[in-house]
Structure 1
Amino acid sequence: MKIAVFHNLSSGGAKRALFNNINFLIKDHEVDIFVPSIADEHYLPLKDISNNLYTFKLKNTVVGSLYSAFKYFPSKISLTDLEKTQKTMAEQVNKKDYDVILCEQDKYTMAPFFLKYIKKPHVYYCQQPILSRNEISQNLYKKAGLKINKDAERIRLKFYSSRMVKIDKRLMSHSKYNVANSYFSHESIMRTYGVNSFVSYLGVETGLFKPMDVLKENFVLSVGACIPEKGFDFIIRSIGRIGEKLRPELWIVSDLVNIHWKKYLENLATQLKVKLRILILISDDELVKLYNKAMLVVYAPYLEPFGLVPLEAMSCGTPVVGVKEGGVRETIINNHTGILCERDEDDFSKHITQLFTDGSKSEEFGKNSVKLVNEFWSLEDSGKRILSHLNRAINYYDL
């Protein structure tokens, strides 16, 4: 097939998942990438693994320049300019002989304007609805005692958040075939938009994320953006409840950092006598080594739609202690590849201690994890799943 791919993603799990799927599709199909100039193509660039990459410059009009200068407007771009650019992109795709389009989300609007103008069969991969965890983030800020500029927040909520939710829902209505990354996300999509979606599970690169012959070290690892929704404060408080003689260090790896939240985490760790290291934008090879060196991986984001981190850890043979929320419940098998528990600091700390001190159980979970990933969660499995939806979408649009 000839496949066109649209994305305007930031760095992170969604971009990694797209990179992996294209790596699979390019083996037997022609794949061209279409991106606006503001898309993140420094992180896992797609130009090296696709047939062609077409970049469309986002032209800032006078209105767009005003948005950029307005400190209370988070996106720093005009949505009118964004829509014009994506309309041009869709028109170019419509003129070419592509069989199907894989459409990813937009980092500003979630459902992209691209959907409104595309006239060919397409699959829209919806990771999550826009602002799905916005209230959680605000509540965590308040509990942390961090001050939010009230005027800025009021303007953001009035002129940005509510407007973006409406835009996201309106643009979502243009998609006829939707794909979700988990059954939890499927339910969120149904609840938010009132439309159906099909689950197409992601996978991990087992050739990269694999067991290594290295010694385990006295730390537990967590991975994710340094923002409130990732639950690192909960992890710090949980580890702080472990006796000092057994208490492990906590290492956090982040690709994106909120400076205020990072400082809060560091102060909290100091207060609770938890040794904390926060590493930013490390290489994949370094990340794989840390997955292997860690005694275990701890994962506690709020309502994570899917979460590649547990699978990456499991692929390296490292067990995971995770909060049983969101898509995490669909990857970790409780008491087989790791432990799922309530969002309770005493419960979480108890299970960290259990796996940290029971080497035989950790080893058993690690072996089970590698086996499970190779049987179901590999890139080959993920690629076959998304390919089946691309094929089905062609016939679906003919109905």
Structure 2
Amino acid sequence: MNIAFYHNLPSGGAKRAVFEMIRGLSKRGHRIWEYAPKTESAERNFMSLSDYCEKSIFFDSHQLQPVERWIPLITPYLNLAILIANFTRIDRMSRYAAKVIDAHEPDVVFVHDCMIAGPPHILPYLHSATVYYCHHGLRTYSQLTQTEKKNHKSVGHSSFGHVKSQYYTQAGRIGDFFRLQTEHRNIRAADYVWTNSCHSRERIYAMHGVDSKVVRLGVDTDRFRPLNLPRADYLLAVGGLQPFKGYRFLLGSLARIPRSQRPHLIIAANAEDSDYRGEIIEMAKHLNVSMEIRKIWNDDVLVDLYNRAIVLVYTPVMEALGLAALEAMACGTAVVAVREGGIRETVVEGRTGILSDRDENEFAAALVSAINNKDLIQEMGKAGSIEVQQHWQWDGAIEHIERALERVVAGSK
């Protein structure tokens, strides 16, 4: 097949999954051209696709950066204006990109998420057969969380505080409405929609009335594997420093563990919201939680961290799938996670990890149970590695993706 591959993904689990898809399809003899908006070199170079694509074409979109400095009464609405301006710019770029892609006459356009808009703006403008793979669920989740974060800084208890809170909240509501309408238009333009979990499939249908197909991902078990290293005295969290990753909840849970038993926390982050980083550092100090933040770009370092951790702690809000949990399991490390979102489809409760409701006392109890029962955690780690080997291998996932793409191509002719 001649596959046009369009994406605008940041570093992280989705970009890693895309890399494995491209590598696997390329090794099976398919011709792949990559198309993407230009991004910062760090984002583009993370799991670069160029070695497995015949050609890579990047488009200028000139995105404006949100204002990070907090200016009372102004910042939320200024960032709302920037959001709308960026959507307009990327829409203009997408019209042009669609013409370029269609002119090359691919058998199928395999479209992946946009870090700005979620379902990419290019979908309504493509005339070739399109498959859109939705990695992150719906963008309004993070938009709502960001809004709540800003409200937290501004809410007062007086009537004036209530009015001010409503004023700030309105900017978030307008942004959410704008994003939702754009998502709705874009996702409904795809010929086929695929996603990574039953949780994501249900959310897509609930929000947009679009039926999607669950196409499972995998883990590179040649890289993420047990190294038989001695366990260190830390908990590991993996994921960007962003509000929807649930680090406030995690710190609150750790604070409920007696100080004599409270382990050190390492957060391995690939990206960050600078304001949020400062907030959780201050929160950790206030709660007397020992915490270290590491910026991780190197897989070997990440694999070492997985292998030495007591457990992986995983607390994102309604995460679409949870690739970090699968990577930890592949390394033979048990997972303690919140029982919601896609994590219920990756962690086998009681066998490869411990799941808890989003309750700080309950989550703290789960962590104490893990810390005090090393034999159980060791057995869960072994079971997790077997689970990934049996059910989450990329070879099987790529074969499934290839067959599904071939059916799309056959149906479009």
TM (norm. structure 1) is 0.91
- The residue number in structure 1 matching 2:378 is 363
Which one of 380, 391, 396 corresponds to residue 395 of structure 2? 380
- The AA in structure 1 aligned to 2:276 is W
What are the superposed Cα offsets for residues 61-109 of structure 1, whole Å, 9 maximum, x if unpaired? Answer: xxx89x9xx9533448543332232222221221224211110122222
Q: Is the 8 A contact 2:253 2:361 kept in 1?
A: yes
What are the superposed Cα offsets for residues 290-334 of structure 1, whole Å, 9 maximum, x if unpaired? Answer: 001101111011111111110010010000001010000000000
- The residue number in structure 2 matching 1:198 is 213
- The AA in structure 2 aligned to 1:22 is I
Query: Are 2:293 and 1:286 equivalent residues in the alignment?
Result: no
Query: Are 2:131 and 1:130 equivalent residues in the alignment?
Result: no
CA 1:199–1:5: 2 relative to 1, 3 Å = same
Q: Please tell me the root mean square deviation across aligned C-alpha atoms, in Å.
A: 2.5
After TM superposition, list the pairs within 5 Å mapping 1:1-399 onto structure 2: 1-28=1-28, 29-38=30-39, 40-58=43-61, 71-72=78-79, 73-75=81-83, 77-127=85-135, 128-139=137-148, 142=151, 145-147=152-154, 153=168, 156-157=171-172, 160-398=175-413
What are the superposed Cα offsets for residues 231-256 of structure 1, whole Å, 9 maximum, x if unpaired? Answer: 11111121111222221111111112
CA 1:136–1:275: 2 relative to 1, 3 Å = same
What are the superposed Cα offsets for residues 135-161 of structure 1, whole Å, 9 maximum, x if unpaired? Answer: 34433555xx43389799467436643
CA distance in 1, matches of 2:346, 2:16: 17
CA distance in 1, matches of 2:227, 2:45: 28
Q: Is the 8 A contact 2:339 2:356 kept in 1?
A: yes
* Secondary structure class of the residue paired with 2:33: strand
CA 1:75–1:9: 2 relative to 1, 3 Å = farther
CA distance in 2, matches of 1:153, 1:24: 46
- The AA in structure 2 aligned to 1:228 is P
Report how many residues are paired. Answer: 391
CA 1:325–1:224: 2 relative to 1, 3 Å = same
* Secondary structure class of the residue paired with 1:335: coil
* Secondary structure class of the residue paired with 2:141: coil
CA distance in 2, matches of 1:323, 1:132: 17
CA distance in 2, matches of 1:388, 1:152: 51
CA 1:27–1:353: 2 relative to 1, 3 Å = same
**Comparing 108-117 with 151-160, which one deviates more in the overlay?**
151-160
Residue segments in structure 1 that go unaligned for 5+ positions in a row: none
CA distance in 2, matches of 1:55, 1:136: 31
* Secondary structure class of the residue paired with 1:250: strand
* Secondary structure class of the residue paired with 1:93: helix
Question: 1:193 Cα deviation (Å)?
Answer: 0.7
CA 1:185–1:158: 2 relative to 1, 3 Å = closer
Q: Is the 8 A contact 2:237 2:265 kept in 1?
A: yes
CA distance in 1, matches of 2:174, 2:54: 40
* Secondary structure class of the residue paired with 1:48: helix
Q: Is the 8 A contact 1:253 1:282 kept in 2?
A: no
TM (norm. structure 2) is 0.88
Residue segments in structure 2 that go unaligned for 5+ positions in a row: 68-76, 156-163
